Amino acid sequence: MVKLYQKLFLTLLLWVAGLSLCYAQPVLHVTDSIRQHVFRRGDIACYQEKGNKLEITDVASARLADKFVRSAVVTPEIHDPASTYWYRIKIDRSGSTKNSWLLEFFDQTIDSITVFYPGKNGAYQASLLGSNRPFLQRPYTHKNLIFNLDNGLKGEVTYYLRIRSQQSANVIIVLRAVNYFVSYALDEYFYFGIFYGMILVFGLYNFMMFIAMRQRQYLYYIVYNLSIGLYEMCTDGIAYQYLWQMAPQWNHYAYGIALFLASTFAMLFAQSLLNLKENAPRFNSVLKVIIVARTVFFLLCLFVDRHLFTYKIVEFIPLSVAFVSGCYVLYMGYRPARFFVIGYSFLFIGFIIKTLIALNMWALPVTAFNFYSLSFCFIMEMLFITFAIGDRLRILKREKDEAQQRMIKQLQQNEELKDILNKKLEEQVAERTSELVEKSYLIELQNQELTEVNQLLQQQAEEISRMNVLLEKDNQLLHQDIDKVTHDRVMLAEVDFEEFSKIYPDRETCFKFLAELKWSKGYACRKCSSVQYSNGHLPYSRRCSKCGYEESVIAYTILQNTRIPINKAFYMIFLMYSTKGKISSHKLSEILSIRQSTCWSYSTRIKKAMESMKKELKTAGAKGWSKLVIDTSAEQ
């Protein structure tokens, strides 16, 4: 029996010893075959100090060695601003390695990181990192916090990290070879360039849409895009690197300002794009209340307690309400909400992943993919929101086209009714006329029936008066075609200047007609041959988008450098063309009330143009004078 107890005791002792060995902190063995290693739950020992009194000599002593425990989560997290968090990692470089190594901290928002490492005399030395320190003091010009490992330290080396921060942060530590870090950093910054470039492109696209459409929703979306870009720059460390290198205090609240602007203008944009005022008045009212509450919370964060900026979880409320609003109006049949819901679905997924990581509820290891998942979701959201804007414009255009088709159909029906009415009126007039002839003949033959016939004629006259009223209404409907008939007559016959001016009454109308003639086959810059253009400063002028050269509508035409009114110049060209150049300058002066010398000078220019275009004008017909307008031979 005693031997049995001895065996049980030895077994229990060996089991406890083995259990303690299982929980011993592992050592990372470094070789050149390893490019990088992410420290996870089993690699890091943690100790949370209430306050900030311990020194490295205390922490590295045997007295506190047992206080360090393995991380209970996949990625360690700091969440108490009043505590100091100590972390311990062990690295063994006893093997042969030619690479230089460094430690990279993914979360660059951490206020203060002190890395303790053994010196040559055995005492621990300290290296200070963190977002509280000026950016230019970092050993690498990189957004993340980097610590170089001393190549002179061989064998097993224990590193201690002391971390303090006013906001919650994930302690993601990566060991990397320097050569791999350079390659990784270049790729990372390349993707950052694509990300922020896309934000800028979306912003410029919507700014152009705002200039063209003059709708506030585009301004809301531009501010939202730029705010998202600024927030991502703050969280990625890009803003600290490029915008406020010597002002680390901005790191504590700049992201909060950007997040407030993004949240507020996202709700304003949702109200405008989804037309919640008409489609969902209750959701519209709820979003107004949330905007006011979010503004009050922002002011509290800014002026009362900036630590409140760390409660980013509040953005779940406006995001959820906007997403549910989109789903509701889509369910109610508002088609422009389709892409809005898809885009916000991506944003919702990214927000949930980021929240789970922040709350340490993410079961998978934190990698670059899920760490930047929200950035990817932002891009997808912006892409689909841009589709939503385009879809809304497309639907509005289709509704406008349908309304125009209905109007055209109604006008056609009115025209058919008018023709039927005219035909009936003609038949009635013919019938009444026949009756009048018959009654007149009877009057000549039967004088005794004169009184009765007169009464009948009076009744017929009243009937004709009623028909005249109907005819007058028809004439009012037919009056709409006068402009077209007048234009056709002007193009086919000689008319005076007063009638000609009804078609080309002012400078604006003439410029419009001239622009359609001049660029009927498309625009091409005379300086660089580019076909891209925008509207110039002068009416109907065009400005090259590539070189900036602006070409007026009368440039390189027969009207260039002409000082007489353009409608009179049009009429003079028309008269010269219709008379084949035989009209005299004296006659032109009388018609146009312009000095004879001016008429002679300009008519000479027109004759030269007619001479140079003789072959083309033979077959031009009534539209030949318009071809003569854009001829440039008189200027050359």
**Model pLDDT for residues 98-127, shown as the tens digit of each residue:** 888 899 998 888 889 999 988 877 788 899
Residue that wins the pLDDT comparison between 83 and 364: 83
Per-residue pLDDT at 487: 46
User: In the prediction, which pLDDT does 438 show?
Assistant: 78
Can you read off the two tokens belonging to residue 283?
């959701």
Higher pLDDT, 616 or 175: 175
Secondary structure of 1-28 as H, E, C letters: CHHHHHHHHHHHHHHHHHHHHHCCCCCE
Q: How far is CA 259 from CA 231, 271, 344, 425, 525, in A?
A: 6, 18, 16, 74, 44
Locate the domains of the chain by residue range: 25-182, 188-401, 403-484, 495-629
Q: Is 439:453 a contact under the CB 8 Å cutoff?
A: yes
Segment 556-607, tens digit of pLDDT:
888 787 888 887 887 788 888 778 778 888 888 888 888 888 888 888 888 8
Q: How far apart are CA 67 and CA 50, in angstroms?
A: 13
Q: Model confidence over 352-399: pLDDT tens digits?
A: 777 776 666 655 555 556 666 777 777 788 888 777 777 777 777 777
Is residue 19 pLDDT above 70, yes or no? no
pLDDT score at 309: 82
Alpha-carbon distances, residue 395 vs 221, 348, 390 (angstroms)? 19, 26, 9
Strand partners, 37: 175
Tokens matching residue 211: 């200039």
Mean pLDDT, range 259-280, rounded to an integer: 88
pLDDT score recorded for residue 595: 87
Residues 6+ apart with CB under 8 A from 313: 355, 358
Strongest mean pLDDT among 437-441, 470-474, 486-490: 437-441
Please report the pLDDT score of residue 163 as a whole number: 93
Assign 3-class secondary structure to 511-535: HHHHHHHHCCCCCCCCCCCCCCEEE
Does the pLDDT of residue 351 top 60, yes or no? yes
For 218, residues 6+ apart whose C-beta sits below 8 A from its C-beta are: 206, 207, 209, 210, 389
Report d(CA 40, CA 351) in Å as an integer: 23
Q: Is the pLDDT of residue 412 over 70?
A: yes
Common-topology check for domains 25-182 and 188-401:
no
Query: Which pLDDT value is given to residue 453?
Result: 60
User: Which stretch of 28-32, 224-228, 478-482 has the lowest confidence by average pLDDT?
Assistant: 478-482
> Look-up: residue for tokens 């080309």?
504
Confidence class for position 12, pLDDT limits 50, 70, 90: very low
- Give yes or no for a contact between 305 and 253, defined as CB atoms under 8 angstroms apart: no
Percent of the chain scored above 70 by pLDDT?
85
What is the CATH number that goes with domain 25-182?
A: 2.60.40.2380
Band (261; pLDDT cuts 50, 70, 90): very high
Length of the chain: 636
The segment with the largest mean pLDDT, out of 7-21, 288-302, 576-590, is 288-302
Can you read off the two tokens belonging to residue 155? 């064998």
Cβ neighbours of residue 184 closer than 8 Å, sequence gap 6 or more: 36, 176
| 4-8, 479-483, 596-600, range with greatest mean pLDDT | 596-600
**Is pLDDT at 162 greater than 90 in this prediction?**
yes
What's the average model confidence in pLDDT over 38-64? 86
Q: Confidence class of residue 86 from pLDDT cuts 50, 70 and 90? A: very high
Residue 330 has pLDDT above 80, yes or no: yes
pLDDT band of residue 2 (cuts 50, 70, 90) is very low
On the 0-12 / 13-18 / 19+ scale of CB atoms within 10 A, 76 is buried
With tokens 């070189």, the residue in question is: 547
Can you give the pLDDT at residue 367? 58
pTM for the model: 0.57
260 neighbors 315 (Cβ within 8 angstroms): no
> Residue 594 and residue 296: Cα distance in Å, rounded?
71
Strands 28-29 and 83-92 come out as parallel
Q: Is 623 exposed, middle or buried (0-12, 13-18, 19+ CB in 10 A)?
A: exposed
Better-scored residue on pLDDT, 83 or 580 = 83
What does the pLDDT read at residue 498?
Answer: 66
Which pLDDT belongs to residue 275? 84
Of 333 and 4, the structure prediction assigns the larger pLDDT to: 333
Angle of helix 585-592 relative to helix 596-612, nearest 10 degrees? 120
Q: Calculate the average pLDDT of the chain.
A: 80
Instruction: Categorize the per-residue pLDDT at 166 as very low, low, confident or very high, splitting at 50, 70 and 90.
Output: confident
What architecture is domain 188-401?
Up-down Bundle (1.20)
Q: What is the pLDDT of residue 361?
A: 62
